[in-house]
Structure 1
Amino acid sequence: MLSILQPLLLFSALYLNVEALPQITRTGRYLFDTSGNRFYIKGVAYQPPGVVIQSADNPFGTPSTFTDPLADTAGCQRDLPFLKQLGVNTIRSYAVNSSLNHDGCMNLFSQNNIYVILDLELPLNGSINPLAPAWSTNLLDEYITTMEVFSKYDNVLAFNVGNEVVQSSTTGIAPFIKSAARDVKAYLASTGAKTLVGYGSIDMATDVKSALANFLSCDPTGQNDGSTSIDLFGLNNYEWCGASTFEDSYAGVTNAFANYNVVAYFAEFGCITKPPRLWTETEALFGSQMTTVWSGGLAFSYFPSVSNDGQFGLVNISADGSTVTTGSDFNTLQTEYAKVSFINTPTQAAAPAAAFPSCAAPTSDFVAANVLPGTPSESACDCVKSALSCEFTPATTNTSAIIGSLTDLACQFLGQASLNCNDISSNGTTGVFGVMAQCDPSVKLSYVMSLYYESQNRNAMACSFAGNGTVNAAVTASASSVASSCIASPSSVFTPSAVSTPSQVTQPPNTNTGSGGSSGGSGSGSKSGAETQAVYGVGMMVVISLVSAAWTFA
């Protein structure tokens, strides 16, 4: 009888979520549970690193593969006892495959009171490209598809719309992140979901990171409207190294965020430049000097992760994926996390509501404009696509490998014809977004191919592009007139709807095999000080060797 009951009990633990996990909500700058008590994120990053191919075409060290840890039920079962030993209430996963089944892991974690902060972006072409930023239909579709898949789970605390995309030299990308937050919030609200929306930021100079945080939580209309604001600002902070102190490490950043209007927390922490990691920062992070400003943090990282400064990781996974071996970092963090006692001040009833101030004017250090791209419209872009004179018909199934180079080539040809690619360009510094900027890269390519084809008196050879273009002989209207007709108001903002077809974003290879092995390949990226690089977040949608200034983000 026992042998029969054991599988049934396991099934019940994994799949029958009898009592829902309490919803975590935001009031003002704090998180609260359903009892009105402060909720603190006491967690760990939970993402095996992907394989990074170092090359000139990958300056940000973006992984070319990823392992979806939340689709590996056996791996989650293996790791749960160790997560419980750490005493975490939250994990953060940076990349998931929406086509896989996540019931096993998500329900297992829910039954054990573990929330999940989930990044919506994917490596490579599934995130805002820092070299050619845009907020486009393919990304919105991908984000919505992931939210739809995870909407049935009660332990999704927040969706992140980006991780370390904006850096000190690329602050003009911020309007695209803010637009993503706006549209993700609108979609969630339309479904009745109360899931929070966040962003994970690289640590930068104080004035830059403060400007970014304020930009992501301000109101461009000046009407105290939070519809474009994030709910959580996550700072990836590695300032506390070794036996440091609050005054030497966290006092400055805490003072900088003292008047922040929404939730702030440490999306990553755990410096490795002065080993061993003592994790004494947890006493400060959850202590009275910081809890008026911060709502906890996530230790980096459960899985091994290689960086320029050394090896992150609290555990090692055996080659067959079946066994966990803890290290000294794990044991020390377990000890320090066990000392944490949450300070229940203020209560939800006493917490003031958030105010959303007007956005500050751009500065020389933070150049983002206060004008945001509109909501990408799939139907409008489909309208354009169906009426273009020269259509991108790739000669290969690996379209991601050629769209960038062909777009660059088409823009060069247009430049030689005294034309430009302004219609597909986006500039977050000037706040100017081309009429076609919201469409996915393949539609943009068809558009500029059509512009060139038409400029050459519709010579069929001008549509070839090495056999990757096909003339649509039935079309007589110009590409620009088609775009103006189909996308009459490119800056329109509306509530996006559910995706009727699978996302058009090509996901990078996913190394999940279903065998329970969760250990990924070696990652790359320092996580301390000025050498910090993004391990998961900075996406290279298409790496383009740009020549045409009209197509280059400035």
Structure 2
Amino acid sequence: MSLMLGRAATAVAAFAAFASGVNAISKISVGGRYLYDDSGNRFYIKGIAYQPQGEVIASSTNTFGEPSTFTDPLANATTCSRDVQFLTELGVNTIRAYSVNSSLNHDDCMSTFSNAGIYTIIDLSLPNNGSIDRDSPSWATNLQDQYLRTIDAFSAYDNVLAYNVGNEVVINSNGTGTAAFLKAAARDVKAYLKSKGSSALVGYAAIDASADWRQPLASYLACDPSDSNSGETAIDLYGLNNYEWCGDSSFQSSYAGTQGQFAGYNVPAYFSEFGCLNGDSARPFTEVSALLSSQMSDVWSGGLAFSYFPATSAQGQFGMVTISDDGSTVTTSQDFDNLKSQYTSATPPNTPSQSNAGSTSYPSCPSQNATWLASTTLPGTPSDDACSCLDKSLSCQFKPHTTNGTEINIIIGDLIDFGCSLLGQMSLDCNAISGSGSQGVYGDVQSCDPATKLSFVMSQYYEANNRDPQACSFAGNGTVNTLAPSKASAAQAAESTCVTAGATGTFVPSSPPVLSAAAATSSASSSATSDSSSSNSSGAVPLLADSRSLVGIVLVALMTVAGGLVTLA
């Protein structure tokens, strides 16, 4: 009975604060490698992941169990009002949202959490080609526009602590060259925030991995390639998804090694996920007593437990609460009670003082070696104007028959691969649309969206085949642009005219183009799932079968077309 009364009192207090319209949440700033509030006190993240799990389609290409759909957790006023009392009871001061929809309204949720003293860390990436690709990375206009639209959607709120430019994008030593694209994204997002007068931080959440490249990655993201100590390309906040502490472990057994490896780190750091599963038993969350203590406070500024909502993984079932089918009732677990006990009893030290923290320094970047491959030469800032100029000038343009975004993404990926293979047979290449973060070499068209890249490849092939209309068909997905220049090398001419100067050039991004009504509707529908959504294998098989069928039809048609086209060379 007392627990219910306590929760009711919390809810009343939160509602009263919301109704008063008084937003007194403190601004969080960086001092040296620490976080401070307006009063000069150390700020520690006592947080939780706050993202309902979307549909996860198991496949050999989805080894991380990443969702294909998402529910925006900050766009439903009813659920935010329902959950704020539980988050407050936990002692949480920060939540992390992994996927949000920039076309939806977030006023009510953000006000509810602000008035409860809860900050947000917002990931800018989205499922389904809405993030930097681990296997084929690029920093392109479509991603930059998506990131900036999200920033615009949240720019008026006072409780955005940070925006993450990626989550576990670099996952092994072979892929460390991808970090160059992450650093470029951080650079451009940071410049955009500064241009808008925003104090929000720019962060990244890293996978916990082998120290031989985990430490260089952290150093690289927070370094200054120019050795000017400006920090213009450095992240402001480093997150480590860490699950080393399992059950009732100890600092020496679980964290001492990681603590030592990050002892000299130069920007604020926190555990962007923690909470190792404990078999079938509740998680004790005793790691909080170490993380929020003098043992670790000289390096780390707290962390985020995973996760408020249920989340199924290969390791087992996460989650602090369960939600009734109608979304009206929240039932807490022993995990919830254990985390609450740890958070509410933690008293991290208030040292060093802000005046003694000094300013943040940005050292030189780590040198390339056998396990660290990223170059300090970064891709340029993507330009919508340059890529639009190119697209309008191309002789063969991608015009798909479908309007389904997921299907279009599948078609684009397969057609680019196929088109590049056709060019290879003609001793031509796709270097213009590619980039290497390891070599620090980026094609002129690398920073354009995938559809424009495909149109460029199509145009190269069409022109190499003497503009035979069949060479622009690509199974009916290509259309001849009658307004393009008529000379045979029009694709290369458009490349030179529109985008060549921007391969590694940098500038402050401008506001992204306004989405069309259809695009905004499509974006909104992608997050219109149940608030308590979770993995649903019963609905996954038909979706996967449909996509594979579509790809199969496209490729069979393409092979038929190619049989007649290769002879034209």
What TM-score, normalized to structure 1?
0.90
Tell whether 2:528 aligns with 1:512.
Answer: yes
How far apart, in 2, do the equivalents of 1:442 and 1:120 lie? 21
**2:462 is the counterpart of 1:446:** no
Q: How far 1:147 sits from its partner (Å)?
A: 0.3
Is residue 312–residue 534 contact of structure 2 (8 Å, CA) maintained in 1?
A: no
Query: Which residue of the partner structure matches residue 497 of structure 1?
Result: 510
What residue is the counterpart of 2:295 in the other structure?
289
8 Å CA contact 2:14, 2:115 repeated in 1: no
By how many angstroms is 1:21 displaced? 1.6
Give the match for residue 239 of structure 2. Answer: 234
**CA distance in structure 2 between the aligned counterparts of 1:278 and 1:465, rounded to whole angstroms:** 57
Map of 2:481 onto structure 1: 472
2:317 matched to 1:301?
A: no
- In the other structure, the counterpart of 1:340 is 346
CA–CA separation in structure 1 for the residues paired with 2:79 and 2:310: 15
Aligned partner of 1:48 in structure 2 is: 52
Separation in structure 2 between the aligned mates of residue 313 and residue 139 of structure 1, nearest angstrom: 30
Unaligned runs of 5+ in 2: 1-12, 538-550, 556-569
Find the aligned partners of 1:523 and 1:258 in 2 and give their Cα distance. Answer: 42
Offset at residue 487 of structure 1 (A): 1.3
Give SS of 1:39's match.
coil
For 1:487-506, what per-residue CA distance to the aligned partner results, in whole angstroms no more than 9, with x for missing partners?
13121100001123128797
Q: Which amino acid aligns with 1:476?
A: S
Aligned mate of 1:417, from 423, 426, 434 = 426
1:11 Cα deviation from its structure 2 partner = 8.6
SS of the equivalent of 1:498 reads: coil
User: What SS does structure 2 have at the residue aligned with 1:243?
Assistant: coil
Change (3 A) 1:213 1:10: closer
Which whole-Å deviations, capped at 9, do the CAs of 1:108-160 have from their partners, x for residues lacking one? 00010000000000011111111211000000000000000000110000000
Distance 1:508 1:437 in 2: 28
Within 5 Å, which residues of 2 pair with 1:80-159?
80-159=84-163
Deviations 1:222-270 (A, max 9, x none): 2112000001100000000111110010111011110000011000000
Distance 1:476 1:17 in 2: 62
Q: Which moved more, 1:254-263 or 1:61-70?
A: 61-70
1:15 to 1:376, Cα distance in 2 relative to 1, 3 A: farther
- 1:294 Cα deviation after fit: 0.3
Does 2:332 align with 1:326? yes
Helix, strand or coil for the counterpart of 2:121? strand
In structure 1, what is the Cα distance between the partners aligned to 2:409 and 2:256? Answer: 45
Deviation for aligned residue 1:16:
6.1
Kept in 1, the 8 Å contact 2:412–2:451? The answer is yes
Whole-angstrom CA distance in 2 between matches of 1:508 and 1:420: 38
Find the residue that maps to 2:82 and give its secondary structure.
helix
Q: Partners in 1 of 2:478 and 2:14 — Cα distance?
A: 54
Unaligned runs of 5+ in 1: 1-8, 525-541, 546-554
User: Partners in 1 of 2:22 and 2:363 — Cα distance?
Assistant: 42
- Report deviation, 1:508: 8.7
Q: Alpha-carbon deviation of 1:369?
A: 1.3
| More helix, by proportion | 2
CA contact (8 A) 2:17 2:116 kept: no
Mapped to 2, the partners of 1:523 and 1:429 lie a distance apart of: 39
Partner of 1:457 in structure 2?
466
Moved over 4 A (4+): 9-16, 503-509
Aligned to 1:371: 377
| 1:15 and 1:108 in contact (8 A); partners too | no
Partner in structure 2 of residue 536 of structure 1:
none
Name the SS for the 2:74 alignment partner. helix
User: How far apart in 2 are the matches of 1:17 and 1:518?
Assistant: 26
The within-5 A match list for 1:237-256 is 237-256=242-261
Deviations 1:316-373 (A, max 9, x none): 1111111100111001111111111131101111112111111111121121111110
Question: Higher RCO, 1 or 2 (CA under 8 Å, sep at least 6)?
Answer: 1
How far, CA to CA, are the matches of 2:457 and 2:531 in structure 1?
Answer: 42
Q: Partner amino acid for 1:252?
A: G
* Structure 2: distance between partners of 1:221 and 1:386: 36
The SS at the match of 2:300 is: coil
Equivalent-residue separation in structure 2 for 1:471 and 1:185 (angstroms) = 40
Q: Which amino acid aligns with 1:462?
A: A
RMSD over aligned CA atoms reads 2.1
Give the direction of change, closer, same or farther, for the CA distance of 1:211–1:313 in structure 2 (3 Å limit): same
Conserved in 1, the CA contact under 8 Å of 2:145 and 2:513? no
Matched AA of 1:32: Y
In structure 2, C-alpha distance between the alignment counterparts of 1:39 and 1:411, rounded to whole Å: 51
Q: Distance in 1 between matches of 2:412 and 2:421?
A: 14
The secondary structure found in structure 1 opposite 2:355 is: helix
More deviation in 141-150 or 474-483? 474-483
Match of 2:561 in 1: none
Q: Displacement, 1:56?
A: 3.5
2:392 pairs with 371, 386, 410, which one? Answer: 386
Amino acid aligned to 2:396: C
Equivalent pair of 2:65/2:313 in contact (CA under 8 Å): no
**Equivalent in the alignment of 2:360:** 354
8 Å CA contact retained: 1:20, 1:154:
no
Q: TM-score under structure 2 normalisation?
A: 0.88
Output the amino acid matched with 2:384.
E
Match of 2:560 in 1: none
Structure 2 vs 1, CA of residues 463 and 12 (structure 1 numbering), >3 Å: closer, same or farther? farther
